[in-house]
Amino acid sequence: MMQPEPLNAFCVDLEEWWHICAADTPYNDPATWDSAPPFVEKDTETLLRLLDETRARGTFLTVGWVAEKYPRLIRRLADAGHEIGCHTYFHRVVYEQSPEEFDADIARCLKVLREVSGQPVNSFRAPGFSMKREAFAYAYPILRRHGIEVDVSIVPAARDHGGVEGFTRDPFLLRIPGGLPLGPAQPTSMKCWPVSVMDFLGRTTPFSGGGYLRLFPLPIVRAGYRQNHRAGRPGMSYIHPREIDPDQPRLKLPWKKYFKYYVGIRGCESKLRSVLNTYRFTTIAEVIASVRRWPEYELVGGDIRPLAPGAVAQPAPPPLAAGRAA
Ligand SMILES: [Zn+2]
């Protein structure tokens, strides 16, 4: 009998068109954000229609500032059965923040998201996928103490900010010791699901979202899903609202960054539609609930390592509350 194809998660990093990491723009200071031309509401409406049309659900990893400004939009997403996740309040690179700054940002973001969405909000993505070794030691204990149960920030491939080459591609259970600064008092664990990558021309590369989805022709994107599904691994797609809007204002960026930021925007919506029609997409919470195998890893000395054989298991976090049913 053929195994059913694994479920896939559809993620939207819900942010404005100027929320770009590690670039000098007129919008680096949040004090300028209120006077910038807004696009996020209109572009998210387009994504919402696309999900509706393809009968897919997804997780909107939301910048706290956006949720505070557009509470009705977040409420509509939640009411439509989508999951709301956390993408920090100010969209700053994780490893450039002190533990205290990161802690305060996460607390502020989750307070807004939980109030506005009426959901528990327990999934997290770092801005610009900036979860790398420098941040492991403090970021995971802080996230866990604030009730985050699933992280989808690690890219197991080379990347300009973030990216952990050679890292595991499978979802895993991360054990977190108790009593770390700003972390939980007792030992606990959370689930981590690295962003989908594929082997392509002898390299490991993301393929299913952002600039990679916009740049790669559809047959390569499909080959990426096939590789992961054959390994019994769910796929993860991700997109930003601005990526489907050819009318957005253009930022002045160094040419390489400009190319990555704006390539393929015109064809992105139809490419997404095709992917959404080909595979089954739902929320992170629902995919996580469908994963049976959870290899265990531990956070030791600022690194994440496979659990030493014979180590005593810690209690797993309670089951995830999925976003409200459609
Ligand atoms: Zn982002």
User: What is 282-306 written as a DSSP string?
Assistant: E-HHHHHHH-----EEEEETTEEEE
User: What is the mean pLDDT for each group of 10 consecutive residues in the chain (326 residues)?
Assistant: 80 97 92 97 97 97 98 98 98 96 98 98 96 93 98 89 85 96 96 97 95 97 97 97 95 93 94 97 97 95 84 52 42
Q: How far is the CA of 311 from the centre of ligand 1 (A)?
A: 36
- Structural domains in the chain plus CATH codes: 36-305 (3.20.20.370)
Q: Are 147 and 113 in contact (CB under 8 A)?
A: no
Q: Residue 277: what pLDDT? A: 97
Q: How far is the CA of 80 from the centre of ligand 1 (A)?
A: 22
Rounded to whole angstroms, the Cα distance separating 217 from 202 reads: 18
Q: How far is the CA of 278 from the centre of ligand 1 (A)?
A: 26
Q: How far is the CA of 127 from the centre of ligand 1 (A)?
A: 4
Q: Residue 244: what pLDDT? A: 96
Q: Residue 39: what pLDDT? A: 97
Rounded to whole angstroms, the Cα distance separating 312 from 164 reads: 27
Q: How far is the CA of 3 from the centre of ligand 1 (A)?
A: 35
Q: At what angle do helices 133-145 and 99-117 cross, to 10 degrees?
A: 40
- Which one, of 49, 100, 104, 102, lies nearest residue 77 by Cα? 49
Q: Residue 115: what pLDDT? A: 98
pTM beyond 0.75: yes
User: Which positions ≥6 away from 205 have C-beta within 8 Å?
Assistant: 157, 197, 198, 212
**Bridge partners (DSSP) listed for residue 239:** 12
Rounded to whole angstroms, the Cα distance separating 257 from 148 reads: 31
Q: How far is the CA of 40 from the centre of ligand 1 (A)?
A: 12
Q: How far is the CA of 126 from the centre of ligand 1 (A)?
A: 7
